[in-house]
Every structure is written in C-alpha cells, then in structure tokens.
Amino acid sequence: MKKIILLMFASVFLLGCIDFSGGGPNTDKIKIIGEEKSSNGRFIATSFSCSGGGAAGYFYFNASLRKAGEKLDPRDGLLGKHKTWNAFNNIKVKWIDDTNLEVSYDQSNSPDYKENNAVKVESKHGIRIHYKVKQ
C-alpha cells in the first residue's frame, strides 16, 4: 500500500514539473510591421505584432524603442500597462527629430481597457515619445 501511495505521489510530482504553457517569450513569433532608424542612427523605433502561448495563446500589437544593435524585446513595448493585451493596432512610428518620436495608433475603447490604455512610456533613452490616437 505504501508503495502505491509513493508511486502516485511521484507521478503527480513529475506531472507538476511539466510545462504545459506552450512556450513563453523565447518562443514568441514577432512580425515587424514598420521600423524607422533615427536620423543619427543611434535608435530604432519599431511597430510589430507578437503571437505565442500555445493553446491559451495571445496575439497583440505594440511599438518598441531600442538602441541600434539591440534585439527587439516584445515584452518591452511602449503602449499599455499589460504589454501582451491586444488593445492597440494600426501602429505607426515616425521620427520628428533625433530626440522626439511620434507613435500613432488605433485603440480599443472598451471600458475593460481604460486602465491598460492610460499607461504609456513617456520617454526612453532620452527620447520623448508623443502619442497620437487615430480617429
């Protein structure tokens, strides 16, 4: 009887160690929609889509600002409190000058997204980011 209980415990323990999440940030599929390098070449602004997550998957659009030569991190987006929510789309990035970036987009206006959509990165790497909601 003790062997059966021990065997059941070991089976449940091993089952709990298996990752059924279907991947994570390392398995994200990123599609670059638009990418603009600053005129001085020091920074890259990117609009992109990201999907992943296996059976309980996710798909979202966001924008990124990074130093030239750095890899795009889809979890380091400029828009939204929750970076993996599909709250924004039709995102365009445009440099105003070397210290100002414009990000224009459509957004979900559902009450469920009010708190999420209120959060936006105001500046990064000394670049001021200007947001423009398309109507």
Tell me the residue type at 135: Q
Residue-level pLDDT at 24: 53
Percent of the chain scored above 70 by pLDDT?
81
Whole-number Å distance between alpha carbons of 51 and 54: 9
pLDDT band at 44 (very low <50, low <70, confident <90, very high): very high
pLDDT band at 53 (very low <50, low <70, confident <90, very high): confident
Give φ, ψ of 94 to 5 degrees: -150, 130
Q: Is the pTM of this model over 0.95?
A: no
Each residue's pLDDT tens digit, 68-107: 999 999 999 999 999 889 999 999 999 999 999 999 999 9
